[in-house]
Structure formats: C-alpha cells, structure tokens
Amino acid sequence: MIFCTDLDNTLIYSGRHEIGAEKICVEYYQGREASYMTKRSLALLEKLRGGKLKNRLRIVPVTTRTVEQYQRIHIGDAPFEYALTCNGGLLLCNGETDRAWLRESKELVADMREEVVRGIRLLEKDENRIMEIRDIEELFVFTKSSEPEETIRRMGEQLDLSKVGLFQNGVKVYIVPKGLDKGTGIKRLAKKLREDKIFAAGDSNFDIPMLKVADYSFLPEKLAKAWKDSENLKIPENPETMHIVGENRIFSDEILKILCEIT
C-alpha cells in the first residue's frame, strides 16, 4: 500500500491557517517559522510510519514544491524514503534526485515544451507580473501576478490549452504541460515500487488527477464542491472510495485518523 499526500494545506499549514495552539513548526524559511503540523497529526503520522504498518504502508509526499522548497520541511524523526516534487516530475529517493525519473518526465512532456516557452514569452510582457519567471527543471513555469485571474485569462486566449494547463494559487500563476500531473506521477511510482493499492489526499486543483486515480482518496468539502461543479470534472460519489472532510474539521487530523482505522 502507498499513501500519496499533498503537503501544503493537507498535512502542513502556514501561520495564516488556524489549526489551534497544539502545533509544531515543521518548516523554517529565512530564519522564520513558516509551516506547522498539529501535534495530533504528527502523532498519527508517526503511528502510520511505525509499528505493524511500518512494512505495509509507504507514505510519499507529493507536492508542486521545488526540491529546495520541499527540503525546508522536516516532519518527524526521519525523512521520507520517497517524495515526488515538481508536481510529480521529480522523484527523490532518500533525499537524492532520481535522474532517470527526471529524464523520463522531460520526455513525457517534450511535445508540450514549445507551448510552455510561448507562455514564458507572454509572461515576460505581462504588466501584472510581480516576480521573476521560474522555469522549474524545464518541467513547468510559475511566477506571481498582481492580477492572477487576468493574467491567466489573457494567456488562456493565446495558448493551446490542449498542450498546457493554467493554474492559480493565490497570487501565483502556473503553466504546466499536459502529462505533468500528480496522477501520472503516482501511477509511475506505484509501478516502480510494485504497489497495487493507492491512498491519496489533497486539497487543490493540482491534486485532482491524483485523487482520481487513487483507490481511496481524501479531500476537503470545498474542493469536492468545486470538482463537482466543474463542467469538465465529474466527482465519483462513492463512500467506499472517497472521504470528504467537512470545513469545520482540521483536514490533516481527519485523514490520518481515518487512514489509521482502515489500514
């Protein structure tokens, strides 16, 4: 079994997110506390990583963060054996980049690279851009915009959306080639590790491809509603394969509690 989990707003939370006083800092950035876990979530996670489940359940962070951003996070006493960063395009094995995996990722999206470069050219001219453009491992691109919805609208009118996806996360704007998604990433990893059952948890549009391919998925009520209301995404309403967490609960606490019960 493999548990593939997003990080930000799924397992860990910034100081802007209210998770109560019982929390532990798990990330420092430029000398300041940046992200936290609840003490309950950390205890449940350590329970899943040890005891009778130690050799039955692999826990794999799956994040859009870059390697540098991911490596700022320290959860528990030991690092995770595997982690998927860069939206599934880069695999870390015991903290080291799997170069063969990265080469294969680039091959998977090679046909879309020209359209990504076109997007970079559009962002260079975007008057709303407020940060440098970052081309992450030649896999995907992101920047920040003072008017992210407007930036995405303009790019959507000029780019071939059959080749790239456009995403917004706060003021961040992403251009991601089709084929570079968390769903593809976890399927590749499950095949590599010969795992036949996938649990997955996530809270954003980046996580939907991963939630769709998992055998059992966890998602917050807000994402479930957005997914269901979307014209292009049909949410499977099957309680045997999906657990939707209400907004009045701390997502990480709930998913880890349920996972402990069902594994």
With b meaning 16 or more CB within 10 Å and e meaning fewer, what string describes 106-119? bebbeebeebbebb
| 78 confidence band (pLDDT: 50, 70, 90) | confident
pLDDT at 234: 59
Q: Which helix (H) or strand (E) segment is 156 a member of?
A: helix 148-158
Residue 167 φ/ψ, nearest 5 degrees: -130, 150
Query: What is the DSSP annotation of 176-200?
Result: EETT-SHHHHHHHHHHHHT---EEE
Q: Determine if the pTM surpasses 0.85.
A: yes
Contact yes or no for 41/11 (Cβ under 8 A):
yes
| pLDDT surpassing 90 at residue 100 | yes
Domains of the chain: 2-105+180-262 (3.40.50.1000), 110-177 (3.30.1360)
- Distance between CA atoms of 64 and 157, rounded to whole angstroms? 25
pLDDT at 101: 98
